[in-house]
A = this chain, B = another copy of it.
Amino acid sequence: MSVDVATGAEQDWMALAIELATTNVDSGGGPFGALIVRDGEIIATGTNKVTVDLDPTAHAEVIAIRSACRALGTFKLDGCVLVTSCEPCPMCLASALWARVDRVLFAADRDDAADAGFDDRAFYDAFKDPETKCPTPVHQVEMANRNAAFDAWRGKTDRVDY
């Protein structure tokens, strides 16, 4: 989580992400905004719509990633940068990893989010120390066929890897 020296273009993108986040509050959404940029072009934007859409996964970053994939007709965003008004929560950072973006840029951090009443920092802590800090119990159920789907996957010769 080191600090970068941002270019003028990066600062412009971030200013837009913060503007999207701020105006989204007036629209009844959460205070978060994000963009996906490729080759200097804004491919997609997203704002937090958790309570508006009744969808706990509708964070700005997830919406921007999904929208960019639709725009580009792909499930891989290599060559793209995720620009977000706030440090992505673990859900959003992992979404960015699965989307294979090249870089993530953020402005406010997890401590700023915590000060505003959001669980981003607590959830990062849960990943660092799941035994004591995870708010939700996570248990393995012993199943003799637990790898049945992976066996089917390995046996499928025309599978689409991702």
Contact = CB atoms under 8 A, between A and B. Distances in A.
Interface of A: 1-4, 6, 10-11, 14-15, 18, 21-22, 24-26, 28, 30-33, 50-51, 53-57, 59, 62, 65-66, 69-70, 73-77, 85-91, 93-109, 112-113, 115-117, 119, 123-124, 126-128, 130-131, 134-143, 145-150, 152-154, 156, 159-162
Copies in the complex: 2
A87 B133 CA distance: 18
9 closest A-B pairs (Cβ-Cβ)?
Answer: A21-B149, A91-B94, A4-B139, A31-B149, A116-B150, A90-B94, A107-B146, A31-B153, A127-B127
A152 B11 contact: no
